Amino acid sequence: DNNQLNAFVEDFLSGTPRDVFIKYVTNNIPKINIERQHQKEEAEQFPLLDFIRTTTFDSSGNPIKNVGMGKDAEHQKLMYSMYKRMIISAVFLRIEVTKMEEKKILSKDVILDEFKDSLLISKTQFGIFERGIEAYFDHDYLVTCHLLIPLFESTIRRLTAFQGGQILRQSKDPLNGNEYIALDSLLDCNEIKNLLKEDVQMYFKNLFTDQNGWNLRNLTSHGLIQTNEFNSTTADRIVHAFCLLSMIKLNDSEEKENTDKQ
């Protein structure tokens, strides 16, 4: 009701602008242990439903994925449930973003300032980031998503290199040289898992690469998302993922030089 909603907003906006920004970043990370507890409780409350597979369909009605089947059934159900809960909670994330905009706590300049000394976005790609964030606050979510989803992969690739991880692998035919390691594999490498910890790593995998989650990177790359799906719900999550990455500060001058060369 309105009283509960007002209390939620009042609590969220309490503190300094920096306090509010950090709450926005940290409170909207799905907590994997809580997600597993939800999954356990749902299985106990509805044991028969837990044995029934969930089939997902594309926009044309084609069956795409059976969730809850095979050796990875529990992982599939976990990621699918996490995705559905993020969709349900999107209304609260939208309220937070709207209130932060009203209070000038969140804006294009605020987010760009978060990345002004960051090495995660190369100088040659910063214009893409700036245009994507500008489109977000102009409510041009189609542009936001198409610019920032590929850039997120580039950002994780740079972060992997910073941590000493591999970003290239040999092609199947050695004569063809090397190929870039894709985002799903980068998020699974030890360097990223150790740095981000499980909550953030699983969040990013769900949002961008897991077939049972939101899977934005893969669906966008293959042209499988419809126009109306590039909306505030999707854009809010993408921008939140970047704001989360802004918490990682890499300032070593020598490493900066090495990263800029990649």
pLDDT in tens, 60-93: 888 888 898 888 999 999 999 999 999 999 999 9
First CA to last CA distance, the chain = 52
Q: How many residues does the chain have?
A: 262
**Amino acid (1-letter code) at residue 226:** Q
**Which residues share a beta bridge with 66?**
55
| Cα–Cα distance, 224 to 220 (Å, whole number) | 6
Distant-in-sequence, close-in-space partners of 18: CB < 8 Å, separation ≥ 6: none
Q: State the Rg of the chain over Cα.
A: 19
pLDDT in tens, 8-48: 999 999 999 999 999 999 999 999 999 999 988 988 888 88
Instruction: Write down the H helix ranges in the chain.
Output: 2-13, 17-27, 32-45, 47-51, 73-88, 90-102, 108-114, 126-137, 141-162, 183-188, 190-208, 216-221, 232-245, 253-260
pTM, entire model? 0.91
Burial class (CB in 10 A: 0-12, 13-18, 19+), 207: buried
The answer on pLDDT for 116 being more than 80 is yes
Residue for token pair 């349900």: 88
Confidence at residue 261, expressed as pLDDT on a 0 to 100 scale: 45
Which of 83, 206, 216 minimizes the C-alpha distance to 146? 216
**Which residues share a beta bridge with 179?**
169
